[in-house]
Structure 1
Amino acid sequence: MENGVPPQRQSPESDQLADRMGTASDVEKASVLVDHFAAATAGPPSAWVDEFVSRVEEFGLSVRQIRRAATDLAWLARKNGQGYLDETDRARVLAAGNSHTARLCLAYIQGQRLRFDFKFAQLHRQCLDWLTEFDGDALVLSFAAFAALGARTSNGPSMYQRAVEAPDADDKSNQVLLTGINFADHLPEQPQMMLTLSDEMMARGQENAIVYYRRATAYRKLGRFEDGLYEIDRAIDDLGPGDVLVHEQFTQERRSIILAQDLQKQIERNTQAVADSITAQVDERIAAASAQLEQRLDEASLRLAQRVDVAQEMVSSGLLKMVEILGLFVALVGFIAGSGAVVIKSHGLEERALSMLLVVGGSLVFFALLRLVTTVGRRRVRTER
């Protein structure tokens, strides 16, 4: 006995776990640990977290193996309604061995629990502490990106990029990122980010039903409904029996895709109907406006033709008047010339007086005729106007 604490003895279950771990391959070791602690996740965290941490150190599990085991056990703890790790649990575990591996295990378990319940703000506060020690760890970076994307903070995209480019990124860290992007609907490039990451995961052999499900969501948001139906059907086919909640979530996504597709078709039909109606109304109004314009053009042409006729008649009348006046002037000149000759040839006073009277009388007659011609012309112009 040391410090009043009795030494712990190996139980038959622990001996059996050691035997199984000794014969298991590296790929199987995480699953063996999950099977061993699965039942204990129905109790408080102290029922399994302490021993899990000690067993991880005892068997020397790699970081990837720890991630797999911690993620699966955290999911079982959530399904069983187990509470989150508190400071008492953390202090108890670290009192037994405050190692880097122990602290990393606690961060993985708590991070996955908060991630599964979408506790963005609480996870963000936890990541502030974890990043000081595990800044290069892909899963811890994924937790930080998940919290930032879900909380819509400005550093979400940059944290996401750091996590994607982390050298030790694996399927567990990428799954956290894929779920985080699903909540980042404030980013215009969100659907394409989901497809890009899922393409990389599938190229690395990390595809599963959840990956197909996320791809279906991305295609639905992009309006590529046939691609979305193909991916969600792959997700449903890949899902194992018994997980009713996940199956219902997948079928709900399928209904959402079909509903969005039907809504898009209805919008297109209504848009086409509205477009046809607007086109018909526009054509009708254009035809009416064209008829009115043609009528106005005809009226304007008629008025222009009338004015041209009036102008032509005025010009003709003016020319005629000019000819008449010119004729009068020629007659006057002839009359004056003849009268002058008569006056010159007159010998007596009487003859000259008569000659002068003749000239004056002829001039008066000429001016009377000129007055008559110009007056008649003005009256005709007023009448025609």
Structure 2
Amino acid sequence: MNLPTRGPGRILALLEAQARATAWPADPSWPLRLAEDLVELGADWRESAQVCADAAWAARAVGHSVLGLISPEQVAAAGPDPVTARTYRHLYLSALRFDFRTRTLQEFVEQLPSGGRASLDCYSRALYAFALLGQSHEVGLALMDEVLAAAGDHAKTRHVLLHGLWLGQDLDRGAERLLALSSGPPFDNGNDPIALFRMAGALRRLGRYDEGLTAIDRALDLLPPGDLTVHADLVREHSLISATRDIDRRPRARTGGTAS
């Protein structure tokens, strides 16, 4: 987890909050414990996004998705404290994203009162944009641009938008947008395996197969050991690029000619 730089003590406190929350992922009270810790720390939306997304992923990885612990009604009625409400929202929407439930995520956000929707933090709006982009809704592109302007180089937010562009296959200039975002800051050092995975998908869609294979090979080299789910995704992308390249390079059957 790459937390914003706010001093080693701050980073350690946030990591400890996440570790406490997910130590017993089957315990239905861990989202509340995490919210209490983030309230005590006065976490901002960036810190909440980092901790909640990683906690939701960790719980899902061991078979205890947040979706089985908190209901949309609980999220919508999380109480007046803004940090608690944001924690529940980040956990729930992140879990929907990890399960590719784009329509459910969209519907949840759109049923919020107009005032609540307008006051959503930047990461929640990024998750809403993911839902729209993932369904190839062009309106998601405008929302994405708004989020990018507000989020700056916040990696977690940009990963959410990359995911939406990667999933939405029918967006206007979707592959070009995906390539630009995956190769720009903060991913321009080429050291983020997930950004490289998204980049490889964009290059495949653009017919730049050899570059795509280079990107996916580097992603495989950079992926932490033991991340089996993501490793399988990368291997599938490698196979897909190779197969698509071979099909495109196969000699075409000649047509036409003179009738005998």
Q: Do structure 1's residue 210 and structure 2's residue 198 form an aligned pair?
A: no
Q: Of 224, 232, 249, which residue of structure 1 is paired with 2:216?
A: 232
Q: State the distance in 1 between where 2:101 and 2:61 align.
A: 16
- Please say if residues 122 and 151 of structure 2, whose CA atoms lie closer than 8 Å, have aligned partners that are also in contact: yes
1:316 is matched with: none
1:132 is matched with: 115
- Whichever residue aligns with residue 71 of structure 2, its letter is D
Q: Do structure 1's residue 73 and structure 2's residue 73 form an aligned pair?
A: no
Superposed counterparts of 1:68-217, under 5 Å = 68-82=50-64, 83-84=66-67, 85-86=70-71, 89-90=74-75, 94=79, 98-128=80-110, 129=112, 132-133=115-116, 135=119, 137-167=121-151, 170-202=154-186, 207-217=191-201
What is the CA distance between 1:168 and its match in structure 2?
5.4
TM-score normalised by structure 2 residue count: 0.85
Q: Do structure 1's residue 39 and structure 2's residue 23 form an aligned pair?
A: yes
Q: State the distance in 2 between where 1:143 and 1:183 align.
A: 13
What is the CA distance between 1:42 and its match in structure 2?
2.9
Superposed counterparts of 1:323-338, under 5 Å = none
Q: State the distance in 2 between where 1:189 and 1:155 align.
A: 14
Q: Do structure 1's residue 270 and structure 2's residue 252 form an aligned pair?
A: yes
Q: Deviations over 1:178-233 (max 9, x none)?
A: 00001211124111111111122345769511100000111111110110000000
Q: State the distance in 2 between where 1:179 and 1:131 align.
A: 26
Gaps of 5+ in 2: 1-6
Tell me: CA distance 1:242–1:204, structure 2 relative to 1, closer, same or farther (3 Å): same
Q: State the distance in 2 between where 1:260 and 1:223 align.
A: 9
* Percent pairwise identity: 25
Q: State the distance in 2 between where 1:111 and 1:130 align.
A: 17
Tell me: CA distance 1:183–1:91, structure 2 relative to 1, closer, same or farther (3 Å): closer
- Please say if residues 136 and 166 of structure 1, whose CA atoms lie closer than 8 Å, have aligned partners that are also in contact: no
SS at match of 2:25: helix
SS at match of 1:58: helix
Q: Do structure 1's residue 253 and structure 2's residue 237 form an aligned pair?
A: yes
SS at match of 1:61: coil
SS at match of 2:199: helix
Superposed counterparts of 1:301-316, under 5 Å = none
2:13 is matched with: 29
Q: State the distance in 2 between where 1:264 and 1:91 align.
A: 49
Q: State the distance in 2 between where 1:147 and 1:27 align.
A: 30
CA RMSD in angstroms comes to 2.7
Q: State the distance in 1 between where 2:114 and 2:193 align.
A: 30
Tell me: CA distance 1:88–1:158, structure 2 relative to 1, closer, same or farther (3 Å): closer
- Whichever residue aligns with residue 156 of structure 2, its letter is K
- Please say if residues 182 and 194 of structure 1, whose CA atoms lie closer than 8 Å, have aligned partners that are also in contact: yes
SS at match of 1:157: helix
Q: State the distance in 1 between where 2:72 and 2:109 align.
A: 15
More displaced 10-residue stretch of structure 1: 204-213 or 117-126: 204-213
Superposed counterparts of 1:275-294, under 5 Å = 278=257
Q: Deviations over 1:348-367 (max 9, x none)?
A: xxxxxxxxxxxxxxxxxxxx
Q: State the structure with bigger RCO (CA 8 A, min sep 6), 1 or 2.
A: 2
Q: How many residues align?
A: 249
SS at match of 1:139: helix
What is the CA distance between 1:29 and its match in structure 2?
3.2
TM-score normalised by structure 1 residue count: 0.59
